[in-house]
């Protein structure tokens, strides 16, 4: 894994320390003095901090290896999965004490390539790998050692998956692809999953290249700037940071005139031009500002209608046309079609502020209504507002 070879010793030590502190925080405290010694001698999550303590300050400059980091990550994921169980009351003595702390990880799924061993690394390997026969006999696996990547659905060992804040897990390639997409498309920035931001914290950063993290940090400054200014030279068009602007920037009047002719609206916060193709007048800009498409004012501060009638009826026609009877050209009584149309119109009025909490899988070739990509095999449809989206848009954009 090339990413670890670019980590300097100080950053590497910080990664180890933060992972260990997280694992230690997830471990329950001993309930009695007699049990404390047993837990500390058999539990990897307790032995790891001891290994660092014995290593001393000189260990900060030792080279990290991939296997140790992968095992620490696996330990972190497993400990998070068992966090709720680890805080239950213990009523069955020493045997239950050991079970409450057992993380599940498969050492056979980790890298078996030879590595250069140092004293601290040897202690870490011993702490993470060694187990007594009693420990092995009493170990209970509460879940599989292999899991699916949320994006590509391929199977990976848990040590090869990065867990994001919403608890979904991404493989290295898919996580890097998501971050790369976010810095080239600001509608995907910051990277999201289930509407929760994914920031390059220590546990995420080890799955990204150093160059990708640098690009993310640079783009964050650009995309977080409300009213951005770019170089007027079409061959350059580089973003200009606010501290380097000595005079007011220019605005293309021809673009603004085109916007007025086409009744486009402008975000009050970032001044981005927006064209509403379908949907209600409640707009949420990529800068997260919410406004009315009709008048441009902040949302819920005006008296404009929630829908324009022609857009509402056009959307209802699209949804009704998706019904199996219509798609198969089956004969429908006019009353049935009219009743279905009225039901869809009312449904759209009631659920305009949909949170897209439930999706269904639709077979066949379809177009994503968000990114406009053509999908050959299937698409997802929101059960509430009926929007159809690809897997990336439903998880990372909506």
pLDDT tens digits, 304-335:
998 888 899 999 988 888 876 555 455 667 77
What are the chain's domains?
A: 2-143 (no CATH), 150-223 (3.30.40.10)
pLDDT band at 283 (very low <50, low <70, confident <90, very high): very high
pLDDT at 333: 72
Candidates 128, 122, 98; CA nearest to 38 is 98
Exposure of 166 in the CB half-sphere (CA atoms within 13 A): 13
Q: Where are the alpha helices (DSSP H) in 224-291?
A: 253-261
Q: Classify residue 382 by burial, with Cβ atoms within 10 Å: 0-12, 13-18, 19+.
A: buried
pLDDT at 103: 38
**Quick check: helix, strand or coil at residue 19?**
helix
pLDDT at 277: 84
- Say yes or no to pLDDT of 48 above 90: no
pLDDT at 362: 92
- Say yes or no to pLDDT of 173 above 90: yes
pLDDT at 335: 79
pLDDT at 93: 44
Least reliable range by pLDDT among 265-269, 284-288, 314-318 = 284-288
Alpha carbon distance 73, 23 (integer Å): 9
pLDDT at 171: 95
Least reliable range by pLDDT among 9-13, 116-120, 344-348, 353-357 = 116-120
Which residues lie below 8 Å from residue 232, measured CB to CB, with a gap of 6+?
250
Q: Classify residue 318 by burial, with Cβ atoms within 10 Å: 0-12, 13-18, 19+.
A: middle
CB 380 within 8 A of CB 390: yes
Average pLDDT value for residue range 341-357: 84
pLDDT tens digits, 62-114:
444 555 555 556 555 655 555 544 444 444 444 443 333 333 333 333 333 34
Return the ∠ at Cα 392 (arms to 386 and 398), rounded to 5°: 50
Alpha carbon distance 138, 104 (integer Å): 12
Alpha carbon distance 174, 318 (integer Å): 33
Least reliable range by pLDDT among 99-103, 269-273, 346-350 = 99-103
CB 148 within 8 A of CB 247: no
Alpha carbon distance 175, 161 (integer Å): 9
**Quick check: helix, strand or coil at residue 189?**
coil
Q: Residues of 58-93 as b/e, b for ≥16 C-beta within 10 angstroms? A: ebbebebbbbbbbbbbbbbbbbebbeeebeeebeee
CB 150 within 8 A of CB 156: no
Q: Which two tokens stand for residue 176?
A: 């890097």
CB 157 within 8 A of CB 163: no
Strands 366-367 and 374-375: antiparallel
Alpha carbon distance 290, 285 (integer Å): 6
Q: Which two tokens stand for residue 202?
A: 């220590």
- Say yes or no to pLDDT of 38 above 80: no
Which residues lie below 8 Å from residue 172, measured CB to CB, with a gap of 6+?
1, 160, 162, 207
Return the ∠ at Cα 124 (arms to 118 and 127), rounded to 5°: 140
Exposure of 321 in the CB half-sphere (CA atoms within 13 A): 6
Which residues lie below 8 Å from residue 343, measured CB to CB, with a gap of 6+?
none
Any idea which residue has 């999550």 for tokens? 45
Candidates 305, 316, 368, 310; CA nearest to 342 is 316
pLDDT tens digits, 180-226:
999 998 888 999 998 899 999 888 999 999 999 999 999 999 998 87
């Amino acid at each position: 894994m090339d990413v670890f070879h670019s980590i300097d010793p100080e950053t590497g030590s910080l990664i180890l320390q933060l992972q260990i502190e997280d694992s230690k925080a997830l471990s329950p405290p001993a309930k009695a003095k007699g049990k404390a010694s047993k837990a500390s001698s058999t539990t990897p999550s307790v032995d790891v901090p001891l290994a660092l303590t014995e290593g001393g300050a000189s260990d900060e400059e030792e080279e990290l290896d991939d296997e140790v980091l992968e095992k620490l990550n696996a330990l972190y994921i497993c400990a998070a999965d068992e966090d709720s169980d680890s805080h239950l009351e213990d009523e069955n003595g020493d045997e239950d004490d050991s079970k409450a702390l057992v993380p599940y990880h498969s050492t056979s799924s980790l890298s078996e390539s030879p590595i250069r061993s140092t004293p601290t690394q040897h202690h870490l390997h011993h702490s993470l790998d060694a187990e007594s026969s009693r420990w092995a006999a009493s170990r209970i696996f509460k879940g599989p050692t292999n899991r699916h990547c949320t994006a590509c659905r391929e199977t990976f060992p848990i040590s090869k998956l990065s867990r994001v804040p919403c608890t979904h897990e991404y493989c290295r390639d898919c996580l890097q692809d998501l971050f790369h997409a976010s810095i080239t498309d600001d509608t995907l920035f910051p990277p999201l999953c289930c509407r929760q931001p994914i920031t390059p914290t220590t546990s995420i950063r080890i799955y990204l290249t150093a160059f990708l993290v640098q690009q993310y940090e640079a783009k964050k400054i650009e995309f977080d700037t409300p009213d951005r200014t770019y170089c007027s030279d079409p061959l350059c068009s580089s973003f200009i940071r606010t501290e380097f602007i000595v005079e007011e920037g220019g605005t293309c009047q021809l673009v603004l005139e085109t916007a007025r002719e086409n009744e486009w609206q402008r975000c009050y916060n970032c001044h981005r031009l927006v064209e509403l193709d379908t949907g209600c007048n409640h707009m949420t800009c990529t800068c997260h500002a919410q406004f009315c498409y009709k008048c441009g004012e902040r949302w819920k501060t005006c008296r404009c209608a929630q829908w324009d009638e022609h857009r509402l009826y056009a959307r209802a026609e699209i949804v009704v046309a998706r019904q199996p009877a219509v798609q198969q050209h089956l004969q429908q009584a006019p009353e049935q079609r009219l009743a279905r149309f009225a039901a869809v119109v009312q449904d759209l009025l009631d659920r305009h502020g949909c949170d897209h909490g439930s999706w269904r899988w639709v077979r066949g070739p379809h177009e994503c209504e968000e990114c406009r990509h053509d999908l050959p095999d299937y698409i997802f449809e929101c059960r509430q507002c009926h929007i159809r989206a690809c897997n990336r848009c439903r998880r990372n954009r909506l």
